[in-house]
Chain A
Amino acid sequence: MKSQHKENTLQKFLVQTALVVLSIVFLFPFAWMILTALKPLDETMTMPIKWIPSKFLWGNFLDAIKYGHESVGYYPFLVYARNSLVLCALIVSGTVASNSIVAYSFSRLRWPGRDLAFGITLATMMVPFPVLMVPTFALFRHLDWIGTYRPLWVPAWFGSAFSIFLLRQFFRTIPFELTEAAKIDGASEWRIFRTIVLPLSKAALAVVALFSFMGAWNDFLGPLIYLLDQKTFTLSLGLQFYQSQNGGTSWNLLMAASAMVIAPVIILFFFTQRLFIQGIAITGLKG
């Protein structure tokens, strides 16, 4: 017993060391980003590399927000951030609402053709976005939706295979006795869904929400195709605008802007990670 204890301590030590080393490797580009964000411009491109800024310019963050204000008459960073938030809100709410309803149907209701439909649903995960790109563009063009946010969020309200799958797996783990009892009391399916199934599924819903938030927040190709007016751009598209317009001129501001794009997401994740991992664990991606 004693030797086993020893082995465990040693093992823990090794794991801890490995984690520390790997953390440094993984966080390194990130730290470099923050350091660059705080530098004066002429220190961003020095040979040999200047690691630590001679003075920490916290004002760079403010400058990054103000950047471009003079020539366009609005604060691009703030406008892009607002656009991203609005779009993300619509996409996340749509994803959660539509997929939970659909997953309920696939997991707890019996209807002819259900299993076949579910099989096809899973198969759609294999359809690459580029295949759909051209006809969907033509479709939205037909609806006069180019240049609006609709092509980006409306589809989210009609379900997606990955989220349906995740939620279906989770809903199946809720004991059927719970819902059967309500059914015998004459509760409608909607009522059962809303008062029994949804409240028990917060973790799984959080997972779906976070995944869809990340997808929407990071999406580049969608906005690149459908948004035309610079004022309607999202942050991920807007950041590229900073870059291609200004090349390496203000690396420090570019890094400051990037850091500000990432920060809220990191904070959100830090506080929800336990719920999040639980959510995935329970949904169990085992097919």
Chain B
Amino acid sequence: MDRNALTIPALAVAVIGTLYMSEQLTAPDQPDSKVHVKYWEKWTAFEFDAMKHVVDSFNKSQDKIQVDILSVSGIEDKTLMAISGGIPPDVVGLYGENVTQYADNHAVMVLDDMCRDAGIKRESYISPFWDAGVIRGHLYALPSTPATTALHYNKALFREAGLDPEKPPRTIDELNEMADKLTKRDEKGHVIRTGFMPGEPGWWNWSWGPFFGGKLWNGKDKITLDSPENVKAFEWVQSFSKKWGASALQSFKSGFGSFSSPQNAFMMKQNAMEIQGVWMYNFIHMYAPKLEWGAAPFPTATAGVPDPTVVDMDVLCLPSGSKHPKEAFEFIKYVQSQKGMEMLCLGQKKITPLRDVSPGFIENHPNPYIKLFIKMAYSKGAVSTPKLGIWSQYKDEMSSAFDAITLMQKTPKEALTDTTNRLQPMLDQYLQRLHLRGEL
């Protein structure tokens, strides 16, 4: 008997076995008596656990629907691919800023009717958290957890610099002055601590313009990034590079540890003041529980935008092509109830988007500044991401303009004009193509 004769059949069996296994790994779960709702969420760690808790309590509250939650990284891109591939999840937890692009592509469903039937109304919400889900008159998204931002500052460093730790800056001039006092250099002249750095944490680089009264676009068809207010805002941003040296600042910043780590610049006392969201408390609590810190409204730059804050939120949507939209909406409805929402928001230690707050929510909330963050949501200076279908490009462009400005490669005027000139044709083309498809 030829020994080799068996080799090929044996290999073939092995390959077929592997093939079978590979199919099993990507096969959908076996059906059972319940309707399974596939839910993709971006969170990990304790934020994920908080949502998992809500999901479990929903699953226990009835016996027909089972929500399976999955943590997915890069969710804003993956979901679009899954929808276009015809295998979307049934519910997806997107970022609020993704909604317009999704809605324009009809990648998520209109929720108007379902909300009406379920009695979910705009009046129940603090308005920016409802309005962020409304695109061209239709509702596409409901909030999961909301957030507002405020100036976080280090009280111990304030004291050290001879400042009153109970008096955070109220105007930009005061902020500048205090930042100077808080900044420290070593004997060689290297910056070893900054009082304030506009690029840290760098998550809302686009928001400086709106904080100074600028508009990112006219809401219809024109990019207005090069308006005088925006330019003024970024001149202020650049003043920090001028004062302390662009490259010195850059290399100082490159030594910062990542945000959610004990090496975070704010917790390491390398940066004395920075803009952060309501979640910052969690990380301080985890990594630097001894830090003496305070939170206050970011100083007002212009009378038109008092107590400026970025209102940001995570949302729940129903992807188009979802196999169980009704059951999925049952789950969304559960999350939107006061009980479900507060369970989630308390679990993630954020604010609630609902106007009605249960007794005990604030008292039980570990963040000592929770009232401030709720108040910020009602602020006249609240700024949200614009409802632009090209927002992901806008944001990318903005962050490279921000680099060019802080590295002193361009003047703010140049950088913003260049960016406007880049974005305007993109917007024109985008709108023209929406028109072509009969959307407008």
Which residue on chain A has the smallest CB distance to residue B78?
A: A228
On whether A194 and B8 interact (CB within 8 A), knowing A45-B263, A90-B15, A225-B81, the answer reads yes
- Chain A residues, CB < 8 A from B48: 71
Q: Render A217-249 as a binary contact track against B, CB cut-off 8 A, 1 for contact.
A: 000000001001111100000000100111111
Binding site for B on A (CB under 8 A): 42, 45, 68, 71-72, 83, 86-87, 89-90, 93, 140-141, 144, 146-149, 153, 194-195, 199, 225, 228-232, 241, 244-249
Across the two chains, which residue of chain A brings its CB closest to B88? A228
A240 closest partner in B (C-beta): B73
Q: Are B72 and A141 in contact (CB under 8 A)?
A: no
Residue of B nearest to A68 (CB): B44
Q: Is the CB of A71 within 8 A of B71?
A: yes
What are 25 inter-chain pairs, A to B, with CB distance below 8 A? A42-B262, A68-B44, A71-B44, A72-B71, A86-B22, A87-B22, A89-B14, A90-B19, A93-B15, A93-B18, A141-B86, A146-B81, A147-B85, A147-B87, A153-B22, A228-B72, A229-B70, A229-B72, A245-B73, A246-B258, A247-B257, A247-B258, A247-B261, A248-B257, A248-B263
Interface centre among B18, B82, B260 (most CB of A within 10 A): B18
B356 within 8 A of A: no
Q: A71-B49, A247-B257, A247-B261 are in contact. List 7 more A-B contacts (CB 8 A).
A: A83-B25, A86-B18, A86-B21, A89-B15, A146-B86, A149-B25, A231-B25
The binding surface of chain B is classed by DSSP as helix
Give complex CA distance A86, B259 in Å.
36
**Of A89, A146, A149, which is within 8 A of B82 by CB?**
A146
Which residues B260-295 have CB closer than 8 A to chain A? 260-263
Give residues in B with beta carbon < 8 Å to A. 4, 8, 11, 14-15, 18-19, 21-23, 25-26, 44-45, 48-49, 70-74, 78, 81-82, 84-87, 257-263
Q: Which B residues touch A232, using CB under 8 A?
A: 25-26
6 closest A-B pairs by beta carbon, nearest first, are A247-B258, A146-B85, A248-B258, A249-B261, A148-B26, A149-B22
Instruction: Please report the C-alpha to C-alpha distance between residue A144 and residue B96 in the assembled complex, in whole angstroms.
Output: 29
CB distance from A258 to the nearest CB of B (A): 17
What distance in Å separates the Cβ of A145 from its nearest Cβ neighbour in chain B?
A: 8
Residues of the A chain whose Cβ atoms lie less than 8 Å from the Cβ of B70: 229-231
List of A residues within 8 angstroms of B26 by Cβ: 147-149, 229, 232
Please indicate the chain B residues that have their CB under 8 angstroms from the CB of A148 in the complex.
Answer: 23, 26
How far apart are the CA atoms of A229 and B70 in the complex, in Å?
Answer: 8
Asked if A90 and B4 make an inter-chain contact with CB atoms under 8 angstroms apart, the answer reads no
> Considering the chains assembled together, what is the distance between the CA atoms of A82 and B26 in angstroms?
13
Contact yes or no, A241 B73, CB < 8 A: yes
B19 partner residues in chain A, CB cutoff 8 A: 90
A148 to B21 CA separation, bound complex (whole angstroms): 12
Do A90 and B81 touch (CB < 8 A)?
no
Say whether A228 contacts B260, CB under 8 Å. Answer: no
Q: Which residue of chain A is the closest to B48 with respect to CB atoms?
A: A71
Asked if B22 and A90 make an inter-chain contact with CB atoms under 8 angstroms apart, the answer reads yes
Q: Chain A contacts of B45 at CB under 8 A? A: 71
* Closest beta carbon of chain B to A115's beta carbon, Å: 30
Complex CA gap A246/B258 in Å reads: 8
Question: Which residue of the partner chain, among B8, B18, B258, B261, contacts A90 with CB atoms under 8 Å?
Answer: B18
A67 → chain B closest CB, angstroms: 11
A231→B40 CA distance, assembly (Å)? 12
A68, B43: Cα distance in complex, Å: 13
User: What is the minimal beta-carbon distance from B75 to any residue of chain A, in angstroms?
Assistant: 10
- B87: which A residues are within 8 A, CB to CB? 144, 146-147, 228
Instruction: Report the separation of the CA atoms of residues A83 and B260 in the bound assembly, to the nearest whole angstrom.
Output: 29
Most A CB within 10 A of own CB, among B23, B26, B48: B26
Given contacts A141-B85, A146-B86, contact A230 B71 (CB under 8 A): yes
Find B260's partner among A89, A90, A230, A246 (CB 8 Å cutoff). A246
> In the assembled complex, which residues on chain A have CB atoms less than 8 Å from the CB atom of B259?
247
